[in-house]
Amino acid sequence: MPFDATLPYNDLPLLPPQRDVETRSVLKACIEARAALAELRVSGQLIPNQEVLINSIPLLEAQASSEIENIVTTADRLFRFANEAGNQADAATKEALRYRTALYQGYRMLKKRPVSTTVAIEVCRTIKGIDLDIRSTPGTALMNDATKTVIYTPPDGKNLLQDKLANWERYIHEAVEVDPLIRLAVMHYQFEAIHPFTDGNGRTGRILNLLYLVDKGLLEIPVLYLSRYIIQNKSAYYQRLLSVTTDGDWENWILFMLVAVHETAQWSTAKIRAIRDLLDKTAMRLRKELPKIYSRELAEIIFVNPYCRIGDLVEAGIAKRQAASTYLKMLSGIGMLEEMRSGRENLYINPALLELLSERNDPR
């Protein structure tokens, strides 16, 4: 039967795809993407304190992935409220920060289990901040934002969704003859087509992409800013997804995802190198201008988050509270940090780092 966007797509084909997913063009793009990922993996090791990376690139990913779903905040607000226990942030910033938290939780879950339906459920629960499960009620449909016409109706029925997710799991882990990056593209389409939750599917799927790269050893930590490419090519992203459903066009979808991995791996590598260079210059300046308080650990702690707190130094074991306050004020005194009041505490902003992280253009 011809595809009807208004009817539940219960006939969504099981994996593996019935068409050849390893065409010559796909394999060529796959080699290029793998090389870029390998370079990114090595570049991440150039910064010994991995907290510097874990607290930066994933927040940029959270911002962009949320923006794809029209949840808009700024990098500045995300970094400002990233470690704040209170509820000072606006709703969009809180939701984007939950994305970052979900990515962290998923990353930690990989130590006990591979990417799976269970991981997906936990990720989506964290993103949405509610105790949800695989959807069981009918009526889910995806619409064009501009025309409000239905463009896709995912499968209905909890048992059917669970069966398709079980097949999805088997494919991504057992189809070892297919390159993991090609499986990544297939996996992402299939998850979005199954659309197992009432909300949060897109963001959950994009987190699963990063977790899968870590799971398969292509990354050590989830620092690929993949949503950057998607937000820049949002229309093509949705068109290519839909073309797999309507026309079985796997090749162009897989090529889109491989180019996304390739380009964002290169961008992420350049960004990490820029962070490392700025950190090294900051450490040298600190050693020259404030030799009495200099330590590499002190230089690194103001790079873990552009908004540094006295407690950050204390928790890192760099200094006790009074000395930590003195250190941060001295750094502000030479213009390395900017001091601002936030509620009952002072924040110390690293303006050079914040500018570097807030800049979406090519850092090279």
* pLDDT tens per residue, range 174-226: 999 999 999 999 999 999 999 999 999 999 999 999 999 999 999 999 999 99
CATH class, range 24-270 = mainly alpha
The domain segmentation of the chain, as residue ranges, is: 24-270, 290-358
The pLDDT value given to residue 158: 95
The residue whose two tokens read 């001295």 is: 330
Nearest to 16 by CA among 242, 171, 189, 191: 171
* pLDDT class of 364 with cuts at 50, 70, 90: very low
Q: How many CB atoms lie within 10 A of CB 110?
A: 15
Indicate the burial class of 138 (C-beta count within 10 angstroms; 0-12, 13-18, 19 or more).
Answer: exposed
Q: Hey, is 341 helix, strand or coil?
A: strand
Rounded Cα gap, residues 304 and 26, in angstroms: 38
- pTM for the model stands at 0.92
- Residue 244 exposure: Cα atoms within 13 Å on the Cβ side: 30
The pLDDT value given to residue 117: 97
Nearest to 347 by CA among 319, 325, 321: 325
* pLDDT class of 118 with cuts at 50, 70, 90: very high
**239 pLDDT higher than 90:** yes
Nearest to 192 by CA among 213, 179, 209: 209
Encoding tokens for residue 72? 């808009």
* pLDDT tens per residue, range 294-328: 999 999 999 988 899 999 999 999 999 999 999 99
**356 pLDDT higher than 60:** yes
Rounded Cα gap, residues 63 and 235, in angstroms: 18
- The residues, any chain, with a CB within 8 Å of residue 332's CB and separated by 6 or more, are 338, 339, 348
Question: Looking at domain 290-358, which CATH architecture does it have?
Answer: Orthogonal Bundle (1.10)
